[in-house]
């Protein structure tokens, strides 16, 4: 999937992946896509909840090799 910026949130625990995502999204413009890589298993539910509450669209959420990859489109 194409993306405009990548955020490495590996090794960070709650709530840092969400806080960093919020900060990084602020640097993008509406419609741009942010790729986030996390190792926090709790982030799967958290990114769904973040998208639902902020209106940013979670395009995909995948898991592999102990890493969680999210693509989020800024509203």
Partner 1 sequence: MSKKLAIIATKGTLDWAYPPLILASTAAALDYEVQIFFTFYGLQMLRKDLSGLKVSPLGNPGMPMKMPFGPTWFRGINWNIPNAIQAIIPGFESLATVLMKQTIKNNGVASVETLRDVCVESGVKIIACQMTVDLFGFEHSDFIDNIEFGGAATFFEFAGETDICLYI
For residues 36, 8, 12, 24, the Cα torsion angle rounded to the nearest 10 degrees is -70
Residue carrying structure tokens 């800024």: 74
- Give the interface segment with partner 1, choosing from 7-15, 28-36, 60-68 (CB under 8 A): 7-15
Shortest Cβ 19–partner 1 spacing (Å): 5
Q: Which is nearer to partner 1, 39 or 61 (CB)?
A: 39
Is 18 one of the catalytic residues? no
**Residues contacting residue 14 through CB under 8 Å, at least 6 positions apart:** 40, 42, 43, 46
Given the rule CB under 8 A, which residues bind partner 1?
Answer: 11-16, 18-19, 21-22, 39-40, 50, 53-54
């Amino acid at each position: 999937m194409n993306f405009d910026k990548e955020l490495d949130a590996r090794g960070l625990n709650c709530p840092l992946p969400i806080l960093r995502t919020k900060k990084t999204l602020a640097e993008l413009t509406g419609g741009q896509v942010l790729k986030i890589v996390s190792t926090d298993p709790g982030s799967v539910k958290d990114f769904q909840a973040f998208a639902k509450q902020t209106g940013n669209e979670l395009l995909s959420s995948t898991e592999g090799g102990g890493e969680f990859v999210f693509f989020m489109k800024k509203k």
